[in-house]
Amino acid sequence: MANLVGAKIERKEDKKFLTGKGRYTADINLPKQTYAYFVRSPHARAKITKLDHSKAMKAPGVIDVFTGDCVAKDKIGGLICGWKIVSQDGKDMKCPPHPVLAKDSVNFVGDHVAVVVAETLEQAKNAAELVNVSYKVQRAVTRTDEATKFENIHEGIDNNLSFDFLLGDKGKTDEAFSKADKIVKLDVVNNRLIPNAMEPRAAIGDYNTSSDELTLYTASQNPHLDRLIMSAFNAVHPEHKFRIVSPDVGGGFGSKINVYAEDVVVAYASKKIGRPVKWVAERSESFMSDNHGRDHVTHAELAVNNEGKITGIKVDTIANLGAYSLVLAAVTPTYLYAPLLLGIYDIPTACCTVKGVYTNTAPTDAYRGAGRPEATYVIERIVTEAAKEIGMDQAEFRKKNFIQKFPHQQCLVHNIDSGDYNAHLDKAIELADYKNFENRRSQSAKKGKLRGIGFSTYFEACGVAPSAVVMSIGSGVGLWESAEVRFNATGNVSVFTGAHSHGQSHDTTFAQIVGDKLGVAIENIDIVHGDTDKGPFGMGTYGSRSLAVGGTAIVNACDKIIAKGKKVAAKMLEGKPEDIDFKAGEFILKNSNKKKTIGEIAFACYLPGTFGDVNSPLPEGVEPGLIETSFFDPSNFSFPSGSHICEVEVDEETGETKLVKYTVVDDFGTVINPLIVEGQVYGGVAQGVGQALYENAHYDESGQLTSASYMDYTMPRADNFPQMTLDYTCTPATSNPLGAKGCGEAGTIAAPAAVMNAVIDAVGTDVQMPATAEKVWKALKKNGSKKAAA
Amino acid sequence: MKSFNFKSATNTKEAVKLISGRATFLAGGMTLLPAIKLRLAAYSDLINIKKIKGLSGIKVSSKSLRIGSTTTHAEVAASKEVGKSISSLAILAEGIGDPQVRNRGTIGGSIANNDPAADYPSACLALNATIHTSKRKISADKFFTGMFETDLKKGELVESIEFEVPEKSSYAKFPNPASRYALVGVYVAKLKKEVRVAVTGVESCVFRCKKLEDALSSNFSSSAIDNVNISSKGFNADIHASAEYRAHIIKVMAKKAVSSC
């Protein structure tokens, strides 16, 4: 059989998705189903003085209305922060109460106040208009840089400061700065983004009054974790009687990691009324109430010596957590961010502080890249400024500071196992035709366009994560992954993974791995995920972890299958297990022509007998069946890296920026399916370009979200992009047997810096993200452009 | 979406007769239906006028181009007649929304809605159009009265729009990056008797820019615009553009339009 790993195999899941046969939560309709509609806060900050739902209760079709009082009375727990951070003074971070339905106060526009359950959606919506909530409106704070100066929005959380985190060595770093020949300073804003998964969130609670089993269908990236949290913390239902199904899920980007209020409430409401309760987010609800991403304000300084070597870095960031702290809200701007500020440079010392602040905005959490895009933006912008200030070529300055030897223990946290940074930068420079850039700049100038070039040489910590390490720094769970490989008697294979595919193409990638490993045709392998009743507990998909961690669990389970198969084959072939070779789906007795296919072995494992023969084909002590489970806990993170080179043309009259050339060379370690990886990179870059040029979640002074629809929130579109050039280098990861490093977030991590470095190169002065036409126009005017001022 | 009665009319008279109480006409529904879905609007009855024969179609003479109110943007964009007589109008239609919107949305719906950032109203003003309704003829100058407001009376149905065929014309649009409506749209037309410049996306309602008209009347060239001073007073300011930026872009778009005339 030809190698499947490394082959450009078309996605197994394409057919259903491209022909509209996907089955999403919203596609599921259950007998006797009811509909939920949420009453949400129209105010950014207010006290609830009175809530009267008596009129709504009498409205046609209404079955029940639930409020904060109901969930409190039934002891439904609030939403949690799953990974807690300790401040530099040794104190735990502060988390405000976060009830699933507001009790006394609301803290952002869209905050969940009550839910109406009715026979039809229209009836629920009509009745929701009759829920009379009296609010005492208070002043709100939305801006990241104003939060600590504003009055306390949560009782007992002074200066709205959740934590004041420090990573690094302040003394040593101060010393490096005192000896520096040059100190480069930079202020950057990492704009707030709204994830915008194509499928809005949805949930159906289905309580079986006979069996006392509760099923929750929900668009989640991690159904097992959801069940754990909802059982242990929200006290919705005991774990063994609770099933969560996350069927086809149309994109997550981190926004479907959290257990949301709506998940808990529909499950709770179904138990209360004894019928299924369905909720599907309207797009405007997604804008308001999905977790947002990014939203940092940062000051960074880089110490450099006269030879062009970086001698230290200092970064101070304020991260906007929004109104509450969600599951990964605190780790995202701290441990997922601060260590990455070193980039791929050999920097001897660093010191980073992060203040996590509460504001009256939608809570922020992981969003594609989660901390790493923010960090990469800081380091790649400041490295570019440094090269400019000391008059060195962009590429040369980077290379001079690249880590050259591996493994490399960075001065913050990470021990990078493998990489070759010169290799991908050299390849990118070649493919981008860097040497002729100035010619292209002149050509553009002739058309009246300002051309700029920008680099971003990034790395990321993926394959999350070694359990002991993450739990030592506050994670509430370990981040291993599980797999069960189940041979069926007829020789086909069901593979259960704890990872979850919501666009990552696991059905294909994992089948390729199993196909090669066991010598089974890809069409005879089924990848099963997204249902807590099928397969073992798993941690889900985020942090580019599925292949490196989940894929490895599958490989290990396959190895166990082969080991058992060898024992069975030995008995059947009349040899010893150690004399059995396994290759391409066949067990072969050494130095003989005797062999059994893996299908025959599976058959024998399930039907261990032959008519007229009392001897079992199974060796003594070997149990029937051919099912193996593996839990893999990685020894380290994996560290993908790469080089992006972007060229833009800026219209001097209007300030419009057009992406004209984009080159990417990534080192993802072993690539299983280049076609799927390409898709991940294209999509990732598009999202990163979105942040750099278009996307911005905007709250006005009163806390209203003014970018709450596609009329006002600018998504990147196909016509914003040139054909990109993609290529790879490969240094395999050493922390997993596949050698895989992860690719799902890379594009989004690297692109913002590449694009902004290009814009700033074109404009000649600083511009903050998103570089909208007006912002660039203003920068051009300030910089003395006559055309812009005309 | 709140429930409503859906009725189809087969002729204009019937359509007008069906309007009573909280009823309104439905053509392409590209604005009306989202507004109803979002509960920004609610009606007892929607009167479908798409089945009325004669409301759709394009007629050309040497002096004018007449487009039926239920003609879709896609039909205008693809029309050879429009391309020959007023090509800028076909280009404008091609730039509205996305393919779905262009295949459903209609010219009559667009002007009756009078979105402050819609494209067609600027064409009507610049091309000195006459709006033919079920009751009367209204000149474009009098038709667009304010934000989402027109001179149409209740139950009055737009039947067709008659544009004057200009000597030269062009539409330059600087799209809102999110919605791709006009952040600034400038329609320049050199008519037989006058030069007209209409601007959309900039104020609460489409308007003619007298300063640009004066400058171009004496010298129809992009350089004539250089010295025009556009005041941003009263211009829209939002998260996409300040009033000052819009004022600047009017000039850039006007020059672009004149250059491509």
Residue of B nearest to A778 (CA): B245
User: What pLDDT is recorded for position A1?
Assistant: 47
Express as a percent the part of chain B with pLDDT over 70: 100
User: What pLDDT is recorded for position A2?
Assistant: 60
Q: How many helices (H) and strands (E) does chain B have?
A: 12, 14
Question: At residue B41, does pLDDT exceed 50?
Answer: yes
Distance (Å, whole) CA A475 – CA A479 = 9
Same domain, B41 and B98: no
A785 reaches B (C-beta below 8 A): no
Identity of the residue in B2, B242, B252 whose CB atom sits nearest the CB atom of A654:
B252
If pLDDT is split at 50, 70 and 90, which confidence band does B176 have? very high
If pLDDT is split at 50, 70 and 90, which confidence band does B2 have? confident
B177 is a domain residue: yes
Structure tokens at A420: 């070759």
Question: CB–CB of B239 and A706 under 8 A?
Answer: yes
User: What pLDDT is recorded for position A261?
Assistant: 98
Q: pLDDT by residue (tens digit) across A431-462?
A: 999 999 999 999 999 999 999 999 999 999 99
Q: What is the DSSP string of A148-214?
A: GGSPPSSTT-GGGEEEEEEEE-HHHHHHHHHT-SEEEEEEEEE--B----SSPPEEEEEEETTTTEE
B178 reaches A (C-beta below 8 A): yes
Range of the domain at B11: 5-48
In chain A, which residues fall in CATH 3.30.365.10? Answer: 296-464+636-789, 481-632
If pLDDT is split at 50, 70 and 90, which confidence band does A790 have? confident
Same domain, B33 and B101: no
pTM of the model: 0.97
Same domain, B32 and B118: no
Identity of the residue in A122, A706, A713 whose CB atom sits nearest the CB atom of B3:
A122
Question: CB–CB of B174 and A715 under 8 A?
Answer: no
Tell me, what DSSP letter sits at residue A590? T
B140 is a domain residue: yes
Same domain, B68 and B39: no
Structure tokens at B242: 């300040």
B245 reaches A (C-beta below 8 A): yes
**Which chain A residues are closer than 8 Å to B3 by Cβ?**
122
Structure tokens at A735: 């922390």
Distance (Å, whole) CA B143 – CA A215 = 58
Identity of the residue in B3, B178, B245 whose CB atom sits nearest the CB atom of A714:
B178
Q: Which of A360, A260, A292, A363 is nearest to A36 (CA)?
A: A260
Question: CB–CB of B178 and A773 under 8 A?
Answer: no
Identity of the residue in A654, A710, A713 whose CB atom sits nearest the CB atom of B174:
A654
Same domain, B81 and B154: yes
Identity of the residue in A126, A653, A711 whose CB atom sits nearest the CB atom of B178:
A711
Q: pLDDT by residue (tens digit) across A676-692?
A: 999 999 999 999 999 99
Fold of A14-138+196-289: Aldehyde Oxidoreductase; domain 3 (3.90.1170)
Q: Under a CB-based contact definition with an 8 Å cutoff, are residues B124 and B112 in contact?
A: no
Same domain, B68 and B147: yes
**Which chain B residues are closer than 8 Å to A125 by Cβ?**
39
Least confident of A19-28, A237-246, A356-365, A614-623: A614-623
CATH architecture, range A296-464+636-789: 2-Layer Sandwich (3.30)
B231 is a domain residue: yes
Read off the CATH number of the domain in which B106 is found.
3.30.465.10
Structure tokens at A788: 């812009």
Q: pLDDT by residue (tens digit) across A87-111?
A: 999 999 999 999 999 999 999 999 9
Same domain, B44 and B84: no
Site from B4, B239, B246 to mutate, A interface, most A CB atoms within 10 angstroms: B239
User: What is the average pLDDT score of chain A?
Assistant: 97
Average pLDDT of A16-31?
97
Q: pLDDT by residue (tens digit) across A655-671?
A: 999 999 999 999 999 99
β-bridge mates for residue B48, sequence order: B8, B26
Distance (Å, whole) CA A747 – CA A769 = 17
Q: Which residues of A655-664 are buried (b: 16+ CB within 10 A; e: fewer)?
A: bbbebbbbbb
Closest approach of chain A CAs to the CA of B152, in angstroms? 27
Distance (Å, whole) CA A748 – CA A90 = 33
Structure tokens at A785: 């452009």
In chain A, which residues fall in CATH 3.90.1170.50? Answer: 14-138+196-289
B87 is a domain residue: yes
Length of chain B: 261
Q: Under a CB-based contact definition with an 8 Å cutoff, are residues B16 and B10 in contact?
A: no
Structure tokens at A375: 């960090």
Read off the CATH number of the domain in which B23 is found.
3.30.43.10
E strand or H helix that includes residue A270: helix A261-273
Structure tokens at A360: 């009256």
Same domain, B42 and B112: no
If pLDDT is split at 50, 70 and 90, which confidence band does A789 have? confident
Same domain, B18 and B132: no
User: What pLDDT is recorded for position A636?
Assistant: 96
Q: Which residues contact A246 (CB under 8 A, 6 or more apart)?
A: A25, A217, A218, A219, A220, A221, A223, A226, A500, A502, A530, A531
Burial class (CB in 10 A: 0-12, 13-18, 19+), A517: buried
**Structural domain count of chain B:** 2
**Which chain B residues are closer than 8 Å to A284 by Cβ?**
38
Same domain, B83 and B128: yes
Q: Is the dihedral of CA B190, B192, B195, B197 positive or negative?
A: negative
Q: Which of A263, A225, A321 is nearest to A543 (CA)?
A: A225
B179 is a domain residue: yes
User: What pLDDT is recorded for position A46?
Assistant: 98
Closest approach of chain B CAs to the CA of A494, in angstroms? 42
How many Cβ pairs within 8 Å bridge chains A and B?
Answer: 46
**Which chain A residues are closer than 8 Å to B178 by Cβ?**
694, 707, 710-715
Site from B174, B240, B253, B255 to mutate, A interface, most A CB atoms within 10 angstroms: B240
Q: pLDDT by residue (tens digit) across A302-355?
A: 999 999 999 999 999 999 999 999 999 999 999 999 999 999 999 999 999 999
B53 is a domain residue: no
Give SS3 for B102: helix
Same domain, B43 and B158: no
CATH of domain A481-632: 3.30.365.10
Question: CB–CB of B179 and A710 under 8 A?
Answer: yes
B208 reaches A (C-beta below 8 A): no
- Tokens 């900050």, residue located: A45
Same domain, B146 and B85: yes
Helix/strand/coil percentages in chain A, nearest 5: 30, 25, 45
- Tokens 């990685």, residue located: A634
Q: pLDDT by residue (tens digit) across A117-175?
A: 999 999 999 999 999 999 999 999 999 999 999 999 999 999 999 999 999 999 999 99
Question: CB–CB of B177 and A654 under 8 A?
Answer: no
A438 reaches B (C-beta below 8 A): no
A701 reaches B (C-beta below 8 A): no
Q: Which residues of B2-29 are buried (b: 16+ CB within 10 A; e: fewer)?
A: eebeeeebeebeebbebbeeebbbbbbb
Express as a percent the part of chain A with pLDDT over 90: 98
